[in-house]
Structure 1
Amino acid sequence: MNSKDNTVADFQACTGIEDVGLAFKYLEDHQWNLIDAVNSAMKNDNIVDINYKGDDISIISPSQATTSLNNIYSANSSSSHKVNPLINTSSLTKNTNNMGPKILIFNITYKDKTSVIKVLESQTVGKLKEYIEERFKIPTKEIYLSGWYNNLKVFNYTILSSLSLPIENNLQLSKLSHMTSGKIPSSNESQSKRLYTLYIKNCWKDQKYTLQMPGDKTIKELKDTFAEMSSIPTKDQEWIGFPFEIISDSVTLNKTGINFPTQDFEVFNKASDSNLLSHTSNGRSSVDEDEPMMIAHLPPPTSSKIFSNIHETQEEGEGDEEFLDSSDNFGVFDAPCSSFKLSNQQPLILPNTIDVVEGQIHFVNQFELRYGKTHPQFFIGTMQHALDASCNLPILERKLLVVYLHHEKSILSNIFISLNLCSETVINYLNANFILWPWDVTHTSNKELFLRITTIKFGKILENTLKTTNVNEYPCLIVFQKCRGQFDILNIFKGSTCLEDLMTTLIHSVDMFRNNQQSSLQEEMERDTRENIKREQDEAYRLSLETDKAKKIARVKEIEQEQLIQKLKEEEDEFKMKEKEAIKMSLADSLPEEPPKDCVSPVTTIKIRCINQSKTFQRRFLASTKLEILLNYIASLGFDQKEYSYMTYWPTFDISQLNPNETLKTHNLYPQVSLTITERVE
């Protein structure tokens, strides 16, 4: 079979058109583009909807849809929920006539083998992995797909239509257990960053979770994320599975030594007995076990009075079905955003949801299936992410956070959504000024999860508010603002609020927020000014201290330098004195003995007078003694000839300038000479 025959066969399988000629005409009109041809054929009035299960596709005609609908009415006629039989089914046919599901083609390559899998774009990545499991016999949790369009990062709950994929996609299939490189390949991820897949068992509730986290996330962030997924607060979590004891929650996953790319954990609740579970995997609250109520179309109210009449009509303790039977006040009509809720319709958030993001994605998908795609922009992410995108931004960039709480059992849900929430005016104003975070509190488990999350972020203020809110006051819009570092509830809108009051109060809330924003900005500017002045004063004081310290250090160094110089000078003087004493002693030891008075040899008497010291010295020398001996004698007395002059009286001359090798008699220093010692003048 050639490629065109395959295309014709695929076209007939999708559309149910058995006429080959007609199939060829559709394909040729659209240049053999299968998707465009199928979408064109879906516009035919003979086709209402496409149901799929696995790879099988079946076509439902309008008559079949009507028959199925009547069967649903018959099946529910005996139930406790009473349904108005005058529900207009034309809107169902009208809405489904234009539905043309897009078929995506995936060429999956594994070990040089390529297999083609066709999936509707309304399905999830997890569903695609189930098909791959059937085809390649690889468990879903072992499947890793790479090569996504535009290097997209996907999760099992990701809906294919949200990825804007082309018709044909080429993906490479890898088995996680066989990936020995220590890194899941990803073209847009650096080599140093890892993405861990964590399989976590909640031993307190006997539940299992799969969580993907980057390796640069800390243990604290892992525990906070798990606290939002489970019912175990961060401080009460006890983790089993780390290879060694983790001392600090600030350690990143990359540094914990856990296995890559997957790791198994068990988490216990330290604050509770693990044998006494408040919830079990098989247990559900009475609210969860109730069948969804059947709600008929209601006429649009003309004023806010009709909302109050709704509450007056329903007495306390009466069921929602009694209100629906009251045909005196309301007629049956086609609602602008929704048709009706059937017993097989999925809730906005499935019971016992543990993943907030997954629950919100399901919320948006179901919301659009019921009410259409014209609605405010819902923020998809955890409560912390919503706060970071609204209240935790810098003051001038902040927005108000609005929490939308839905309840299936409220008789005002469809009315509020159709007339208020889906109003173009409200949509535009919410998108421009608010971050809208949605949640469904119909089921007790989801309400408890919501309260756990909000208690962590806001304390008890929201829990106390919800305790006083009964079912028929839902839906609720709760407006939060951050003022002076605290989260406050600015306004609460309940299901009975009319469009005019809703818009008026929303505008008033924004005005109040702007005023508070200006006040906070002014306070922050004043605080910054005070802090700047304080910083300048502290800096000036610090510089003054440093200057004083520097002066003190300089003075200390100066004193130390002076002391050192003085010490060196003293040591030098002492050394010179010792050196002089040594020279004096040496010279004294070298002198010949003084001749006696009765010496028969010629003797000369030398008298020495020191003017500065008023001292007089006298000694006898032989006339034949050399002048050098006399000079040594005078030096031994402490009068170095370099510093002193040895002057005679008459004629006046300095004997140190004479030849020291000649005798005293030769120099006419005989028989008696007086010398005066004076300091030399430079």
Structure 2
Amino acid sequence: MSNGNEDREVILANFQAITGIDDIAIALSTLEQFNWDINNAIVATVSEDPTPSPQVSSCEVNTTFKVDWKGREYSFSLNVNDATVGTLKENLSSRVGVPKENFTIIGFPTMTVQTDHKTLQQMGVSQDCRLMMVETPNQVPNTRGQGSSSIMSSSRYRFKMSVEGLEYDLVFPANNHVRQVKSYVESTYNIPASQQRWEGWPPGTSDSLELRDLVLETPFHRLKVFRRQEAGRASVGSDDEFMDEDVLESPECSSTSAQRPLMTVGKSAEENVLQFLQVFEERYGNVHPAFHIGTLKSALTAAFNVPADLKRPLIVFLHSDKALTGHLFCSQVICSESMAGYIDQHFVMWAYDLTERRLQQQILTECQSIFGYSGRQQVEMYVPDKLPLMIVITKVQSAPQVFAVFQGDISPDLLMAQLIDAVENYNQTRSIEKAAELEQEQRSRLRELQEQEYLDSLQRDREKDEMKKIEEKEKQLQVETEEATLSSFEDLVPPEPDSNTPSSDITFKLPSGERINRKFVHRTQLKVLSYFVGSKGYPPANFKLVQNFPKRQFDEDEMYLTLDDLGLTRREILYVEERD
């Protein structure tokens, strides 16, 4: 391998001419992977171009899989041996109307670097595979106050790199890892990686990250690299290490965590969560998932003590400033717009800081009170060396339980895929709960209706009883009144005279057709006859006395005249008629 830039340009040109790869970024990436050994790179590239077996037709190897885009699933049936990632992007672009340069696809089963010319088989796509389409907008805001920052719309990044005081303009493919940049400096400028001291990398940078995963300045990003004067430990180059010593020595990270803790021992839960939110935004900016303000118990209530349609899984985010992966996980993973948006849409998130030991004990005690001793053990086994953690809690059959635990060294793509899986699993549970809740609601509504009908029936019966009692009272009063009236009329009528006393024999013809005979002495006033009729149930106020032969109707003035005065001294017939 040649160390000169001119030789590498020749190698790059020859490699593109032989392989037919027009994309400079892909060609550079491939050569970097083989340490600029053009022969091995050509062999590997040619071998990655599979040719379908002539014995098998395309329809026989078509594979059905799904791609999720903003909650909607799109099914595809493609020949995974022939179709490439680029083919899939074109199909997606035509179906959803988003230019293919504005999105990427995540969730491929293999850990192979994704390029458009890779076949779906090389990316591990198989039957019932589930992928996710994620927008990659050209401009994203810098969340750490570093000025205007963006991801380059092209596939390369430009750097103004000062190497031991000399400045160079360098360009690297977006899919190059940070360790490849350091290897380039080692091979080109003869500064061993173990002796490199860098300035200018964004906080949270590690050797295992690709350049496109970092927040870099545009149109170029400035870096400085110096040779260490004293031998230090070798730079971390393994993918197993999430942060290197440059991150641990970052003045921003160390001073921030020392001067401004995320939580303070002795404060209430609400005060500490508000402090966590404020310090978190000071460190990482305003783009982050929304943190529930309150205790863990109140977060559980917000997630699960709501109607089935509104229930969401709970994420308990446990952080520590002492954890190597904490700063990078916050800055590069959960503070991305896509991750924060997805969590806000589908989860309730509660955060807690475990930097101080007393804070650790408090959360363990609270976990034990809510989830039992087994729940405490699940959390305790990760504290403190496995932090940060994202603990996904669901609620099945009224009991909260830990669904999954994600550690801080998980990749963003894998975390997103796992969160999607958690949401899908919980949605199935929620649909069952929703059906049960609907059934319970219907039963309750029917029971309430039956109870109301019963109460209405009781009320109607009570009203009927009351009306019956009132009617009976009125009837009784009427009877008593009538009896009293009749009795009073009887008291006003003198006894019937004997046969020796001169008297008038009066026959009363009642409205009912009944005839009553009664003798009255001649000096009896006519009103006494009306009293007699009243004692028989025909009071003078409502009835009058009438003589037919001759036709004669007695008026009020005649009521005080005697029978002798009226000429009623013989046998007479008087008719009792109702007054008009």
TM score, norm. by length of structure 1: 0.39
TM-score (norm 2): 0.45
